[in-house]
A and B are shown apart, each in its own frame.
Chain A
Amino acid sequence: MSRRRVHLTFQGQLADEPALWNMSQEFGLVFNIRQADLEGGFGWVMLELEGGDDQLEAAVRWLEGRGVIVAPIEQDIVAG
């Protein structure tokens, strides 16, 4: 089992569906929200994900496919 700390930006997705719950069911992941700021479906969530490496990768791609921006907890690392 691996753990990954991620920063997610939602752009309306949370208004329509329980995206994190769906993700955890779909890929068998445990998630733990550490901080969040959401307003009308838009906002960000910092959470820790726990599960198999392949499941973690698949979950990231699944979220991205739904328009969620998935960044490491440090957000943009690639600097100018």
Chain B
Amino acid sequence: MSDIKGLKCRECARAYPIRPVHVCEFCFGPLEVDYDYAAIGARVTRQSIEAGPATMWRYRALLPVDGEIVVGRYCGLTPLVEARNLGKALGLRRLYLKNDTVNHPTLSFKDRVVAVAVNKALEFGFPVVACASTGNLANSVAAHAAEGGLTSFIFIPADLERGKVLGTSIYAANVVAVRGTYDEVNRLCSEIADKHGWGFANINLRPFYAEGSKTFGYEIAEQLGWRAPDHVVVPAAGGSLITKIWKGLREFHGLRLIPGVPTRMHVAQAAGCAPIVTAVRANTDLIRPVKQPTGIAKSLAIGNPADGYYAFKTVKQSGGMGEEATDEEIVDAMKLLAATEGIFAETAGGVTLAATRKLVQQGAIGRDEVTVACITGNGLKTQEAVAAALRPPIHIQPTLRSFDEILTQSNGAGPSLVDGKAA
């Protein structure tokens, strides 16, 4: 049973009971779950957490789910990879990758937030869950709805490539393609959420949904041996993840589970859509929306980020920085990660690592400092982003001689068979 007082407005602190609402009626500020930390602190210890399941639900005292965990029971506790090879390539001795490419069930960090949201939807008695998404969120909502026996509606822009829809349709979701501009799709979904009273993952379930991201931070701290890292580099779309990792680390400190939070939170975005990084660099909390995001990092293409202001505050309060990456830098970083650590990340992972590389080059991250790069999704979902940058197979005849010839070429002036490896 969670020790939750209710919901509270992040702006005016007005209190609300637990129900599926997300905006303060008075100031329109976002609502957030309000915990009774004294009660939680009285019963949560490192030992009690370690005795919990090998999933993110070991932290359920700090998550807003009251009843039985019905869906997403295997989510989280993904590997914190000690990335020695990649660290060497980037000039870092203590680099770790929080690897949500292998998160259960749909291979992205979105499973954390959706698992909380759909369990909450079941508690509220919603027969339908929904979201508007072009990728990871859609996959995850559809999968969790299927597991929970709920109907799901997924809204997508009509021009979305068919390949992107398959990973959602397979879960028997109702996929609705909306003909219209991005802004029109956006507004329609808000109106549908208002009218039909369904559980919309990132609308009326948002206060609960967003809390799932804290587990990313909890796991980092526990897996580092109950300490916070010196740096975390986080990719940003709507900006929620970086704020919740920071919140998770600070909650752990408040509960005396870790000794302190010296962590600098750095935000990473693609050059084609970097409203938060732009604000961080300009040192202004006025986020200028990007009307038409461009580039290959589609999962981060949020031009008008709901949590941009809070992401900005997190970066500034923690002493972090912002960095962006071009498409070429993103692809290079994805290839480097795969070639050095055997991890195939989606484009957001490339953004994170390209930004990390720049922060190291600038001296913002020191060689011996403990650094965690957040790898939030699996590259198998966005193969088209790197397809053109990879060498095609080498064709040979079915003879030893034919194979030996290409080996000889490789050792001589021909193309290297270890192309892409870190030097």
Chain B stretch 287-327: residues in CB contact (< 8 A) with chain A? 288-289, 291, 298-306
Residues of A within 8 A of B302 (CB): 76, 79-80
Set of chain B residues within 8 Å of A9, measured between Cβ atoms: 288-289, 304
Q: Which listed segment binds A: B45-53, B132-140, B250-258, B400-408? A: B132-140
B28–A34 contact, CB under 8 A? yes
A76-B206 contact, Cβ under 8 Å, with A5-B23, A11-B288, A69-B291: no
A71: interface (CB < 8 Å):
yes
The reply on B150 being an interface residue by CB < 8 A is no
Contact partner of B203 (CB less than 8 A), chosen from A37, A60, A69, A77, is A77
Tell whether, in the assembled complex, residue B133 and residue A78 are in contact, meaning their CB atoms are under 8 Å apart. yes
Q: Shortest CB–CB separation between residue A8 and chain B, in angstroms?
A: 11
Interface residues of A (CB under 8 A from B): 5, 7, 9, 11, 34-35, 37, 39, 42-44, 46, 48, 60, 64, 69-80
Q: Is B127 an interface residue (CB 8 A)?
A: no
Bound CA span A80–B203, Å: 15
Bound complex: CA of A60 vs CA of B187, how far in Å?
A: 11
Closest partner residue, chain A, to B131 (CB atom):
A79
Asked whether A39 and B134 contact (CB < 8 A) given A34-B28, A71-B187, A79-B238, the answer is: no
Q: Is B384 an interface residue (CB 8 A)?
A: no
Structural contact, A69 and B289, CB atoms closer than 8 A: yes
Interface string of B273-295 (1 = CB under 8 A from A): 00000000000011011010000
Q: Is there contact, CB below 8 Å, between B186 and A71?
A: yes
Residue of B with least CB distance to A7 = B304
Given A9-B289, A80-B136, A80-B302, does the pair A35, B29 have CB atoms closer than 8 Å?
A: yes
Instruction: Fill in one digit per residue for B162-186: 1 if any A CB lies within 8 Å of its CB, else 0.
Output: 0000000000000000000011011
- Quick check: B28 and A75 within 8 Å, CB to CB? no
- Contact flag A79-B23 (CB < 8 Å), given A9-B304, A35-B29: no
Residue of A nearest to B137 (CB): A79
A74 engages B206 (CB within 8 Å): yes
Whether the Cβ atoms of B286 and A74 lie closer than 8 Å is no
Q: How far is the CB of A54 from chain B (nearest CB, A)?
A: 15
- The A-contacting residues of B in range 180-232, CB under 8 angstroms, are 182-183, 185-187, 189-191, 202-203, 206
User: For the complex, what is the distance from the CA of A43 to the CA of B189, rounded to whole Å?
Assistant: 24
Q: B22 and A78: CB pair below 8 A?
A: no
Contact sample, A vs B, 14 pairs, CB 8 Å cutoff? A5-B23, A9-B289, A35-B29, A46-B28, A48-B28, A69-B291, A70-B183, A72-B187, A72-B191, A73-B23, A74-B202, A78-B133, A80-B299, A80-B300
